[in-house]
Chains A and B, each alone.
Chain A
Amino acid sequence: MLYILNSYIFKLLFNVMIWLTLIGRGGQGIKSASHIVSTAAFLKGYYVQSQPIYRAERRGAPISAFIRISNEPILERGYIYEPSLIVIADESLFIDTNLNKDAILFVNTALDADKLRSLYNIENKRIITYNLTGLTLQILNKSIISVALAAVACRLIGLNLEEVEHAVIMQLEELNMQEEVDKNIELVRKVFELISNSNIENEKKRTKSVSVIDLSYHHPKISACYISVPANSISSEGWNVNKPIIDYDKCTKCMICFIFCPDSAIILNKDNYPVINYDLCKGCNICYVECPTKAIRLERNEATLDR
């Protein structure tokens, strides 16, 4: 079966820089994907710079990788604020992500572009979607999408199949996964087949203007660094595959779950019973493992069922 996607290929012209951002979660292989893209561009002879940014270092936390590719030495570093192309590993990331509206967007999802646009209020004119997880499962028998994501990015940038295959082989060797090479090459070729060859040129970069301001002294209530709410104050809702449920008939109020919860998502009520704040619970299941009376059970989180 051959899918032809409505797609866009960037052209690396002289004095043109490609700004690419890959967005995913820790554990999805974003770093690997970024290394494959940068290696492929390097093998093609371009100047390349690539950098992942993690915040919380744990599985499930959002991670971005920024890649710059140019015909000239690169006098930039760090965050890419206005990427020309954004490749997103799954649609749950729209909650955490501010998108440059001028960027071309690729999203790994089973939904089509129009559905996505209305669901998440995305203004980007050009959105390409494809169920890469499905394709990867079909070919690799597992859902590690780093190679597929890299192949999509390389294809959209306009790199050649030859360099991309070479880069994938190098990356798998680096990870001591030589036995996976054949299937991953098959996956790369499939992605290259699925995305057609219509060319567009790089958009001009839009730059927001900022100005330097004076900072005056603020009362320590404001200017000392503390948070007046428990845990991270950033909702982890939507991270958890399973949510913990407490059976108060079995609970002995031992407080072990309260102590062990790494995100302070469990508080004690006035009778000293533990109560889980599901906005803050990231679904690590530690409370479930630690509860000595097995008073905590896990239930599949309906909200994340389709991911």
Chain B
Amino acid sequence: MKRLLTGNASIATGAMLSNVEYIPAYPITPQTEIIEILSKWVREGKMNAKLVTFESEHSMITAAGAASLTGVRAFTSTSSQGLLYAFEMLYNVAGWRAPLLLANVSRAVAAPITLEPDHNDVLSTRDCGFIQIHAETCQEALDDVIIGYRIAEDDMVKLPVIVNIDGFYLSFTQEVVDVPSNDEVEEFLPEYKPIHGYLNAKNPISLGVAVLNSSAYSYFKYQMHLASLNALKVHEKISKDFEKIFRRRYYTVEGYMLDDADYVIVMSNSFTTLGKAAIKELRKEGKSVGLLKIRVVRPFPRDDIINALRGRKGVAVFDQNISIGGGGILYPEVVSALYHIDDRPKAIVSFIGGLGGKRISKEEFKHMISVIEDAANTHKVPSSILLFTDEDWSMVRSMLKIAKGDIE
């Protein structure tokens, strides 16, 4: 049934349809609405779940991991500083191989404080063992929760999943969403029956034990890595099942006007919609341009990226994040995927933009394309470029004047 839902409501609806049974919770803007909606549904008896509020995200994630291993489907959500506060336990629950699902509503990390999104929060957790799926639309947000549980609980994977949505641009944005029925979701997502690490009073086990042995540590860590890589195959398989039932197909990476494009912008999350609009307009001007959206960020879909980008003249990697002193986080990953193939793009340029939710104007998209055209023709690749305009600077200048007096 088609309904008008916010991104937060889409995530909550995905959790409800997945028959989530345990929801440890802690509020933070712009995520709080998810747990408000879920707690309402639990209270009204629409969901047969237990929602518990915690004193911090650190305990919240711990509870989600432990609950997941007792055999209940666990859901939790947070954002920004909340995710960072839980950081230590993200490594732990992943190491426990607990297939819980965590919705992160991206919000740029302080200081300075802001509410709107970029992806430093979610990408800072890229190494800890969570599968990461990043949503562009409210429809994807809902579907990714259902897909996320199916991947997490697969015996080839058994790892927790983060579904990422952008604060404001998705979390509070209402869009038309095709909401699946309970029956359809039940057909796609079987009941969760853990067969490993099953916490049970009758058969006590110890979890997260000390191995104090480097060989054992290496073994367990690398097993997690292999499990994560397996998720690529699992994703492909279950996407076919998903399509049969829901008539929508998802890929780890998705092209837009990509077929014959010489120049490609790579991006992720909700700003991809803005990128598509810019590509559409540039196509009207006769430019041979396209867009590649990275939907699954962990495991990194290396082969799919190679297939999508080989033979192009120029590529712009748009990072909505900044590794201070490094540059864009996804850029080196894309470049390294392409390095060893003969027909790699002539130029791959790093762009950083949309920090703190800064909008990307049509001019900035056009700028990216003209820079990669130049770089491909001259073989001179500039170092990373911040998308920041004269208008941004005049805004910042006037704020600095208020904050600090004269700034000359």
Contact = CB atoms under 8 A, between A and B. Distances in A.
Do A and B make up one complex? yes
Interface of A: 35, 38-39, 42, 47-55, 57, 75-79, 207-213, 215, 221-222, 225-229, 233-234
Given A77-B273, A212-B389, A213-B388, A225 B112 contact: yes
A26 to B, nearest CB: 13
Contacts of B407: 222
A143 B277 CA distance: 41
A211 B175 CA distance: 31
Contacts of A78: 168-169, 274, 357, 359
B142 to A, nearest CB: 16
Nearest to B371: A212
A215 B386 contact: yes
Interface stretch (B10-18, B50-58, B152-160, B397-405): B397-405
A47 B174 contact: no
B363 A210 contact: yes
Contacts of B239: none
10 contacts: A38-B4, A42-B4, A50-B174, A53-B168, A55-B115, A75-B273, A76-B273, A76-B277, A78-B169, A78-B357
Greatest chain A CB density within 10 A among B112, B115, B175, B357 is at B175
A89 B390 CA distance: 32
Nearest to B362: A207
Secondary structure class of chain B's binding surface, majority of residues: mixed
B387 interface: yes
B95 to A, nearest CB: 36
Contacts of B168: 51, 53, 78
Interface residues of B, number: 41
Contacts of B357: 78
Nearest to B256: A75
A53 B393 CA distance: 22
Contacts of A50: 173-174
Contacts of A57: 29
Given A212-B387, A213-B389, A225-B111, A77 B169 contact: yes
Nearest to A39: B4
A21 to B, nearest CB: 14
Contacts of B363: 209-212
Contacts of B389: 210-213
Given A49-B174, A233-B403, A79 B359 contact: yes
Given A78-B169, A222-B404, A228-B403, A48 B175 contact: yes
9 A-B pairs with least C-beta separation: A75-B277, A210-B389, A225-B112, A51-B173, A227-B403, A210-B391, A212-B367, A50-B174, A42-B4
B193 to A, nearest CB: 36
B176 interface: yes
B364 interface: yes
Contacts of A76: 273-274, 277
B223 interface: no
Contacts of B228: none
Given A48-B4, A228-B404, A77 B274 contact: yes
B310 interface: no
Contacts of A49: 173-175
Nearest to B4: A42
B299 to A, nearest CB: 28
A160 to B, nearest CB: 17
Contacts of A221: 404
B355 to A, nearest CB: 12
A215 B400 contact: no
Given A38-B4, A228-B405, A47 B391 contact: no
A54 B405 CA distance: 27
Nearest to B276: A75
B256 to A, nearest CB: 10
A185 to B, nearest CB: 20
A208 B395 CA distance: 15
A186 to B, nearest CB: 25
Given A49-B173, A78-B359, A212-B364, A222 B400 contact: yes
B280 interface: yes
Given A77-B274, A78-B274, A226-B403, 9 more contacts: A38-B174, A50-B174, A76-B277, A77-B271, A78-B168, A208-B391, A215-B386, A215-B388, A228-B403
Contacts of A53: 168
Contacts of B111: 225
A48 B2 CA distance: 12
B388 A212 contact: yes
A212 B174 CA distance: 31
B174 A48 contact: yes
Contacts of B367: 211-212
Contacts of A212: 363-364, 367, 385, 387-389
Contacts of B388: 212-213, 215
Contacts of A47: 176
Contacts of A48: 4, 174-176
Nearest to B138: A49
B361 interface: yes
Contacts of B175: 48-49
A51 B172 contact: yes
B350 interface: no
B270 interface: yes
